[in-house]
Amino acid sequence: MREAEMRAGIRVALQSLNEDAERAIRQELAAPLDLGHSGRLQFEVCPYFFGIHLVQTEECILEDSVILDAMTPQLRDAADAADLDLYTALGEELFPWFAERWLAAEGPTHFRPAYAIFHGGLDEPRYDLEQRRWCSVEEVWPEEV
């Protein structure tokens, strides 16, 4: 297995979760949300188990390990045999996939901007879900720099 094949397998596995993620996003957006002091809607991703939750409500979009469980044993075994880092690649593929789910769930019609970040990374870049790119903290909160 080459890295490109592994990443394609990751994308296929993530696609199996499209409906669940979109439904959970829509459910969260249906309720009134207080953006709090940040003024920005944010999702956090667990960097170890890859669960996703909405920061403002702490509600789960996808429970811990749901994403990991979507990775087939064949994909895991092939990545291991080829000495490829499935977890790093998954972390890199996850944010663009989640941005697609955000757009499919019509998130930008409710909140702009919206970001995703690995949990615990308060000083780390955020992934802009509408623009599908990483942004520095200074770019997200220029007034606080």
Which residues partner with 128 through β-bridges? Answer: 115, 133
Q: What is the pLDDT of residues 19-76, one digit of tens each?
A: 999 999 999 999 888 887 777 899 999 999 999 999 999 999 999 999 999 999 999 9
Expressed as residue numbers, the domain containing 11 is: 3-144
Distance between CA atoms of residues 46 and 65, nearest Å: 9
pTM to 2 decimal places: 0.93
In this prediction, residues 127-138 reach a mean pLDDT of 94
Instruction: Give the number of domains in the chain.
Output: 1
The neighbour count for residue 99, using CB atoms within 10 Å, is 21
Gyration radius of the chain over CA positions: 16
